[in-house]
A and B are shown apart, each in its own frame.
Chain A
Amino acid sequence: MRDARGRRGEALAAWLLTLPAGLAFLLLLLAPTLAAIALAFSDYELGNWPPHWIGFDNFREMWTDRGFRISLVNTLVYVAIVAPLSVAGGLALALLIESVTTGRTLFRAIFFLPVVSLTVAMAASWQYLLHPTIGPVNAMLRAVGIAGPAWLSSSDTVLLSLAAIGIWESVGFNMVLFMAGLTAIPRELREAAAVDGAQAAWDRFRLVTWPLLGPTTLFVVVISLIRSVRVFDTVAVLTRGGPNKASEVLLYTMYTEGFTFLRLGYSAAITLVFLVIVLALMLVQTRLLDRRVHYG
């Protein structure tokens, strides 16, 4: 009898304790998401009330919209460059820093600096560095007789320049995550592998370190993919999607459609596509990689 009441009290307490988090989730995440989904099926424009229900028209328009297609392709190209290179770069940096004995903290701080600095402010520095006529990068190229490109205003190089900034931004973040993963691997395992005949450093990395880093790598890969799909600040500050949509990316398209062109319904539809991509990425990554990852 008392047992049952105690259990009920415990359950009640549990509900009460989860209430704040539950409410926050409902109000801050679920409700806005549902509102965005509803808007995606309407022709809502800022200042034009009430909106009309238009079914799948927004999605049909997206299918034929050249701007949206370019934006989607650009985003995929950006992710395909930034995610693998920032994961590989982060791992390489972590291994290099782990292998040195002096200056570890210094190097870690240097490479981590881009992560803690404000992207918008950093974008301004990049704008100066990559300036076609007064920028140091092109000045150096000119000194050796090469006419540098207009990094951020030529449609040939703009996406690559943004990707380079994106890598620079996230490589330090990945490095720190990998370093945390590396410290969790017992030194004895590597020593035992050396005794067992894995003399070359590469063999020890391939046989011991890499498999044991599995959970970390999985996490870093997923985070890198999501972070790079979310690219926005550098585009908004440096190129505004130009020239001729050469650097138009998903979130920037969403922003201009919604807030510059005032078409909130269409913008919500793009948000939905973005949401589906992010969810799919997480699902595919965890499902596919989960099976192969070795949780020591």
Chain B
Amino acid sequence: MSLQRRTLAAATTASLFAPHVLRAQAPVEITVHYAQPFIFKESYDAIAAEFARREPNIRITWVTTPNYEEGMQLILRQAATQMQVDLSYQGFNRLRIFAERGIAQDLLPLLQREGDPARHGYSANILSLGHFGGMQAGLAYAASNPITYYNADLVRRAGGNPDAMPTDWAGTLALSARIKALGGGTEGMFYTWPGDDWMFSALLFGHGGRMLSEDERDIAFAGPEGLGALRLLDRMVKEGGMPNLTREAAQQAFAAGRLGMFFWTTAALRGTIQQVGRNFDLRTTVMPVIDPVRGRLPTGGAAGMLTSRDAAKREAAWKFLRFSTSVEGTTLMVQNTGYVPTNQLAIDEPRWLSEFYRQNPLFQAATRQANIMIPWYAFPGANSVRVTQTMVDQQARIVEQRATPEAVLADMAAEVRRLLPRPRG
């Protein structure tokens, strides 16, 4: 009896030191984190179901956070104590923080094991969305860009043609003024400038500008492009009659049919469709074009990043990340969220998504602009998030008409410069 027990104990100890080959056959359990389950849950569920069929030995435990910010806090806290998450889907603009703090792992070697990444749909453009801190910190899972939501009923009442919306800002602002003139508390337009720097970068990139210089030592937005962006914001108030609202208030007004045009991320499309219901004829279209040649749009959304410190778990987590961003994965993601696909094959080959877009025309606006999407710029250093808050605060002065675009640009430049990391040596 006692001998048997000792043998058993010895066998268990031996199995602990057994080579990996033995352990690989046993089921691997990984923990995957993502944010905003109200937007993403259906897409991850669909992908996980398909993944389970291909990799029955990998079990996934899910952890979710209501938003990206809490998701970032979760991973940073675990990095300071004990990392339990093996794979985490984070907002594009947060990846740099993880890359600079040595938490995200470089994915390029893993990708290159299969040969040229572009062959599997990971084009240079798509890889650049997750390239931060000099490494492939993440793989884009879902991408979004700003689009125009509009109330076709109001546009019609104001004498506009909802089937041929103005394609530039001059026409858009004139239409906005006409909608506002309908009266009864109706507003023409709202551009979602509060929150973070994303919508400001849409104005800046739209003029062909950039946030910082190539070497990231100084700001680059204080030139004509930045001034153009702020002047446009000023014109939205002066010519378009844009009201001073919080983002939530603007969304509520739009859903209630009291706001003509609403400029925000395509990520909000599913929620907006639900909110609007049958209140009015909801339509979407591309953003008004600023500079037809140099103009670009920022990319929002999420990328998967590997954080596992255990070899077997890392391998399993990579398999899921790879599948979730493959052409099959991205197709499931688009069908369940309305985001822009993040695998070039799904964009190029019509067999994956053309049927979906034909049935859901509202989702076309973002994909029509996919060719001018560039990465959402993340500022370097410890103050990266603080910089974006400064930009939002400064824009408020224009929206409240308390300062000219010129004065705001100068203050914005001075404040952002102060917050950038000082060059070493």
Contacts and interface: CB of A to CB of B under 8 A. Distances in A.
Interface stretch (B126-134, B202-210, B319-327, B383-391): B383-391
B170 interface: no
B246 A152 contact: yes
Contact of A132 (B249, B382, B399, B400): B249
A74 interface: no
B256 A259 contact: no
B69 A132 contact: no
Contact of B400 (A45, A243, A256, A260): A243
A47 interface: yes
A153 B186 CA distance: 17
Interface string A144-171: 0000001011110000000000000000
A260 B69 contact: yes
A138 B245 CA distance: 14
A102 interface: no
B258 interface: yes
Given A133-B258, A243-B396, A244-B394, A47 B246 contact: no
Interface in A104-152: 127-128, 131-134, 138-139, 142, 150, 152
B239 interface: no
A173 B246 CA distance: 30
A49 interface: yes
A48 B187 CA distance: 46
Contact of B246 (A139, A239, A244, A263): A239
B185 A133 contact: yes
A239 B69 CA distance: 17
Contact of B243 (A47, A150, A152, A262): A150
Interface stretch (B15-23, B71-79, B364-372): B71-79
Interface string B370-409: 0000000000001101100100111011011000000000
A47 B101 contact: yes
Contacts of A260: 69, 385, 389
A198 to B, nearest CB: 53
Interface in B56-95: 69, 73, 76-77, 79-80
A46 B76 contact: yes
B194 interface: yes
B399 A243 contact: yes
Contacts, number: 94
A66 to B, nearest CB: 9
Given A134-B258, A260-B385, A244 B397 contact: yes
A243 B396 CA distance: 6
A37 to B, nearest CB: 19
Helix, strand, loop or mixed for chain A's interface? loop
A170 to B, nearest CB: 24
Given A134-B185, A242-B392, A49 B256 contact: no
A48 B101 contact: yes
B354 interface: no
A46 B389 CA distance: 18
Contact of A261 (B80, B243, B245, B383): B383
A147 B30 CA distance: 57
B179 interface: no
Given A49-B80, A262-B385, A243 B194 contact: yes
Interface in A65-107: none
A190 interface: no
A154 B244 CA distance: 7
A38 to B, nearest CB: 15
A230 interface: no
Contact of A133 (B69, B79, B80, B253): B253
A245 interface: yes
Nearest to B193: A243
Contacts of A154: 244, 400
A263 B382 contact: yes
Contacts of A139: 185
Q: Tell which of A152, A153, A259, A260 has the most Cβ of chain B within 10 Å.
A: A153
Contacts of A259: 69, 73
A154 B65 CA distance: 31
Interface in B241-255: 243-246, 248-249, 252-253
Nearest to A152: B246
B101 A242 contact: no
Contacts of A48: 101, 382
Interface string A33-56: 000000000000111110000000
A132 B243 contact: yes
Contacts of B400: 154-155, 243-244
A139 B400 CA distance: 22
A170 B258 CA distance: 34
The 5 closest A-B pairs by CB, nearest first: A243-B396, A244-B396, A47-B76, A46-B76, A47-B101
21 contacts: A46-B76, A46-B80, A127-B249, A131-B249, A131-B252, A133-B186, A134-B256, A138-B185, A139-B185, A150-B249, A152-B246, A153-B244, A155-B396, A155-B400, A243-B399, A244-B397, A245-B393, A259-B69, A260-B385, A262-B382, A262-B385
Given A150-B244, A240-B194, A242-B194, 12 more contacts: A46-B76, A47-B98, A47-B101, A127-B248, A133-B253, A155-B396, A243-B393, A244-B394, A261-B383, A262-B76, A262-B385, A263-B386
